[in-house]
Amino acid sequence: MNDKEPIYRGHRPRRQMALWLGFFVALAALTLYLRFHELATQGLWSDELFSVSSITQVGAGRPWYAYEKKSFPYLRMEDSFLTWKAGENSPPLFEVLLWLWCQVFGWSDFAVRSMSALLGSLAPLVLFIGLRRPLGAWSAAGAALIFALSPSAVTYAQEVRGYALLMLLASIAVVRLVRYVLADDGQRSHWGSSFKVDVAIYLLLSYTHYTGLVLACGLTGLRWVLAKRRGWPLREFGWFAALPALLAPWLYLNWFAMASAGAGYYGWSDYAWADVWSLLLPKATEFFLPQPSIQVVQAFIGLPKAVGVFLARPYALPATLTLALLGAALGACKRAAADAAPRRVHDPRWLLCLGLALLVVMHFGYGIYTAFHARVWHARYFSAMLPVGMAVFALLFSLAGQHRLARLFPLCAVLLACAVSVPTLRAYYQNPWKEDYREASRYIVQNTQGRPTVVATWAANAAYYNYYLRRFMADAGRSYELTTVGQSGDLTAGVAALCQRRWAPGEQVVLFQHSAHRLYFDMVNRHCAGALQMVSERQFRGLFVNFYQATGAAASPQ
């Protein structure tokens, strides 16, 4: 049986067709279950609240297209949708689709997350359907199963962010490249291999996340190299010029925030080369494989130390030169033998595998550049590379199929990935870690009387604190005042102005803050001494809620 033959042809045995159809149904059920399981158990967290708030509670009374040049720390809830998205430094496609989705399915936590869950469920199915013909059903099935069980893929498919859409579009893009390179000449001229379609997909990738633009450039470069190497027409690559032309309007709006972030003004850490080996590389590896992979990477990280110890020995230089000469001699003999042998056509799957793996490495290098210059790095920026890594797995599985015991290597790899993925997913479901704005807001509503004043600390994050609060207050038929203490450059002045307000005796003031920003609590206690008396404090996951009562006296700052 030739594994590379299509599986849905009439001359194939019905049992074989039923087997793979059954696998597809089981894969679909597995991906849907994992991504919809416990979908609304915990409330939306900060990053999700930014996406949802940008289409629900910002820019009240202003048109969505009213634009002001701002970067993230200076955003206000009064700013328009376009200002928010340009200030966040990410393209707006996901939020536009989310708004359309919620017009149909509503605004519950389950509804707003369900779009990402559905998109994330489709990505492994696209990988299986798209790669089964060029690489064989066994290879495509193995890679798709690893993709379906990937903790990273499941995690980001349960978030109201653009990463699930990014993974789906990246899956389509990489599948199209593999099919283009491995297609017969007659099939390559079909519209399904047209580069115009690829450019349209690349445009959607770029308007989803800027890492999608990086992937689009990488895939185009790889396609050009393979096409030139094999003598295929290159005229179609002129269509790629449409990508920057159609992306230019958004880049113009986003350029100010992009330049500010690129200069490192709003980064959260200063990275050094030691962090590349101890933090960035293990975290990036963990994105593709679960926790046990970190130990493997750390073992490789320890190799340079062993090499350094070896080079310090007196016999290191002669031994190294001897090994180098021996290797050069063996390489010369091998090249001479290859020149004497009849030339064979290289399997393009090797070139594809190498090229796609190189894209992942280059993306990691781009991440290092971003960490050093923008002082920002996160493993989630590898979302666009996850389908690329799965395609590399599928290519390796397919290449292993040329030899005896061909099924053993893919089977062992899949079983190993499943063995380490399932416990990680179980821990993910059982141990939520994101900020619990929903329960904290419910607690505030249940424990306030009258018309309380809620201090949502930093102005740029006020929408996060207000999202659930306004809903629960409306359900309870209550009103409240929401205020902030300013932005990052004037916190002291903002807190001082807050404390100079003339509170009515007995009035409730609630300080709603992130657990990483306890400085607001300390500043309020110092500047509002005498005017506000703390009554109680309650800690939630990632958040603090402090209740104060106004004394009626003037503040005596300490």
183-187, 383-387, 503-507: range with lowest mean pLDDT:
183-187
Give the number of other Cβ atoms within 10 Å of residue 148's Cβ: 28
The more confidently predicted of residues 315 and 225 is: 225
At 431-461, the pLDDT tens digits run: 888 899 999 999 999 999 889 999 988 888 8
CA 543 remoteness from chain centre: 24
pLDDT for res 427: 87
Instruction: Sort strands 532-540 and 543-550 into parallel, antiparallel or unpaired.
Output: antiparallel
Domains along the sequence of the chain with CATH: 11-40+89-430 (no CATH), 437-550 (3.40.50)
Res. 2 pLDDT band, cuts 50 70 90: very low
Distance CA(493)–CA(497), nearest Å, equals 6
pTM recorded for the entire structure: 0.86
At 258-296, the pLDDT tens digits run: 888 777 677 778 888 888 888 888 888 777 766 544 444
Res. 335 pLDDT band, cuts 50 70 90: low
At 17-73, the pLDDT tens digits run: 888 899 999 999 999 999 999 999 999 999 999 999 999 988 887 888 888 888 888
Angstrom distances, CA of residue 234 to CA of 185, 197, 449: 15, 16, 71
Q: Strand order in 532-540's β-sheet?
A: 481-483, 453-455, 508-514, 543-550, 532-540
Q: What is the mean pLDDT of the chain?
A: 83
At 460-470, the pLDDT tens digits run: 888 999 999 99
Mean pLDDT score, 399-410: 66
204-218, 331-345, 432-446, 519-533: range with lowest mean pLDDT:
331-345
The more confidently predicted of residues 346 and 23 is: 23
